[in-house]
Amino acid sequence: MRKIQISASILSADMANLADVIDGLEQAGTDMLHFDVMDGHFVPNITFGLPVLEALDHVTGMFMDVHLMIEEPLCYAERFVRAGADLVTFHLESKSDPVKTIEAIHQAGAQAGIVIKPDTPWEEVIPYLDQVEVILVMTVEPGFGGQSFLWHMVKKVEGLSAYKNEYGLNYRIQVDGGINADTAPHVIRAGADLLVIGSYLFRQANPRAAMDAIREQAVKLSAVD
């Protein structure tokens, strides 16, 4: 049975209390932390970077899932791993060479993943699928939390899932943007195993119950598979 994991995006969290927020997420059973790095060039927004990741890595033992929305991920990949990233995902649409960037992340000791924006066909990652641990399908345009799920991205997840089964590959399929109790079952059924959840989680009075409900749906859906 496929194991579904939830990566909490701290983009929508209270930035003045990040250590407490992360402690709460860990207590609530979150599988990993999703850390959105934006440079104001690749996307029209700026968030946080190396010093914040390093500081947070010192206050939690959680798995750090770092999503680089920056133009030159190859220039920074190794430093993000040294700052605490356990998984680094970077955009195929960035300026860096994908193979060199994957190698830099692996050599630094972390898992590597490629991210594709909504307009990028999934077939463009085929040359790299045997080299990465994760493929991240953006289910909104990258840049901001709280956007609505793009339903036509479900087909992309289905395509990547079918390809993985056909060729016996091992990458995990991550989705990011607009994931909530209504959209999660659709991406899980399509083959996603790693769900990034941001604003939905922070709206919940009981995040543990919300995550458990999504995981329970996943168990039911996997039983049907």
Active site residues: 36, 176
Nearest distance, CB of residue 70 and ligand DX5, angstroms = 12
84 or 178: whose CB is closer to ligand DX5?
Answer: 178
Report if residue 36 touches Zn ion, rule: CB under 5 A: yes
102 close to 131: Cβ distance less than 8 angstroms: yes
Kindly tell me which of 96 and 199 has the beta carbon lying closer to ligand DX5: 199
Q: In the structure encoding, which two tokens stand for residue 218, read together?
A: 């996943």
Rounded to whole angstroms, the Cα distance separating 160 from 104 reads 24
Inter-residue contact 120 to 93 (CB < 8 Å): yes
Q: Is 35 helix (H, G, I), strand (E, B) or coil?
A: strand
Return the residues of window 42-71 that contact Zn ion according to CB under 5 A: 67
Task: Classify residue 129 by its DSSP letter.
Answer: T
Q: How far is the CB of 202 from ligand DX5 (least distance, A)?
A: 8
Binding of residue 91 to Zn ion (CB under 5 A): no
For the CB of residue 141, give the shortest distance to ligand DX5 in the complex, in Å. 7
**CA diameter of the chain:** 46
- Helices vs. strands in the chain: H and E counts, helices first: 8, 8
- Of Zn ion, ligand DX5, none, which one sits near residue 198, judging by CB under 5 to 8 A according to partner kind? ligand DX5
Closest distance of CB 71 from ligand DX5, Å: 15
- Quick one: what does residue 140 bind among Zn ion, ligand DX5, none, with the CB cut-off 5 to 8 Å set by partner type? ligand DX5
User: Are 189 and 221 within 8 A, CB to CB?
Assistant: yes
Q: Are strands 111-116 and 134-138 parallel, antiparallel or unpaired?
A: parallel
Closest residue to bound Zn ion by CB: 67
The mark string for 151-180 relative to Zn ion (x by CB under 5 A, - otherwise) is: -------------------------x----
Closest CA to 116 of 145, 139, 150, 87: 139
Cβ nearer to ligand DX5, comparing 105 with 163: 105
The rounded distance, in Å, linking the Cα atoms of 188 and 194 is 9
* DSSP SS3 for 45: coil
Other Cβ atoms less than 10 A from the Cβ of 182: the count is 10
Residue numbers at the binding site for ligand DX5 (CB under 6 A): 9, 11-12, 34, 36, 67, 140, 142-147, 176-179, 196-200
Q: In angstroms, what is the minimal distance from the CB of 198 to ligand DX5?
A: 3
Q: Which is nearer to ligand DX5, 112 or 163 (CB)?
A: 112
**What residues line the site for Zn ion (CB under 5 A)?**
36, 67, 176
